[in-house]
Structure 1
Amino acid sequence: MDTAHIVAQRFYRALSDGDGNALFALLTEDFEGVVSAGMPHGVGGEHHGRVAMITDVWGRIDAAYDIEVVPREYLTTSGRHQVVVLGTYRGRARATAERVDAAFAHVITVKNGQITALQQITDTARWHIPA
């Protein structure tokens, strides 16, 4: 198992545990995140820096949803510094209890044991809860 795969597993464990300190330590200071356009609560787009990603993306999603991030398959790229993770977001909106079930692909870039970038691709329509 290569480093990118191991770091990605630690990342999903930190998300699952709600461990902000572990997330902070796993991401580089100059981390670059790209979240699918059309995600709710204004989280779609580019996010520069680990603090921005943790607070402006994962913090907002956590406030609005009770979501489990379930990685299913880890695909290492030929460069060995990236891993593509396929999985599912599962849970409910906190305000309405409406169900969310959306597939995702994450492209995670790792350098020196930390994540330098993450690109998220998901079916954003499955995140929008009818009013």
Structure 2
Amino acid sequence: MADTVAVAQRLYECLANADGRGLSELLADDFVGVVSDGMPHGVGGVHRGPAAMITGVWARIAERYNIRVEPQQYLAVGDDRVVVLGCYRGAARDGTTAVDAAFAHVITARDGRMTALRQITDTARWSIPVS
């Protein structure tokens, strides 16, 4: 359990530091990411392999948003899985919308590497109009 929580914590460190190399080392070769349908810019859906998640999701979001991923609670579910509850906060880089959305990440790990991530979030809260 502690190893899986450590893997999850490493994910958030890499995301906070825009550490693509760290993400590449963290994700297992057989990694599968499932991102909520309805996410902006077409990033929702299934992403197989580290490159698909890093370039197809996280890099695309980072290009368009100044986002903080704020984990708040880690809930162990067996030896290889943790549910992380938290919030996305920030704004679109073009200044037109804000983001304030809760998330649940279901993270699975094996041998110190992440094998799966399922993201659950309120996608409508990714496009709050800025007045």
TM-score if structure 2 supplies the norm length? 0.95
Task: Measure the CA separation in 1 of the matches of 2:38 and 2:98.
Answer: 18
CA contact (8 A) 2:69 2:87 kept: yes
Determine helix, strand or coil for the equivalent of 2:38: coil
Shift of 1:30: 1.4
| Residue 34 of structure 1: aligned partner | 34
Task: Measure the CA separation in 2 of the matches of 1:48 and 1:128.
Answer: 26
Please tell me the residue identity of whatever aligns with 1:38: G
Matched, 1:86 2:85: yes
Deviations 1:59-96, CA, capped at 9 Å, x for gaps: 1100110000000000000x210000000000010012
Task: Measure the CA separation in 1 of the matches of 2:54 and 2:100.
Answer: 22
Please tell me the residue identity of whatever aligns with 1:61: I
| Residue 18 of structure 1: aligned partner | 18
Matched, 1:3 2:6: no
Written as runs of structure 1 = structure 2, the 5 A alignment for 1:97-108 is: 97-108=96-107
| Residue 120 of structure 1: aligned partner | 119
Shift of 1:127: 1.0
| Residue 69 of structure 1: aligned partner | 69
Please tell me the residue identity of whatever aligns with 2:11: F
Uncovered stretches (5+) of structure 2, i.e. residues with no partner: none
Matched, 1:49 2:64: no
Task: Measure the CA separation in 1 of the matches of 2:121 and 2:128.
Answer: 15
Shift of 1:128: 2.7
Task: Measure the CA separation in 2 of the matches of 1:119 and 1:96.
Answer: 28
Shift of 1:97: 4.7
Q: Could you list the runs of 4 or more consecutive aligned residues of structure 1 that deviate by over 3 angstroms after TM superposition?
A: none
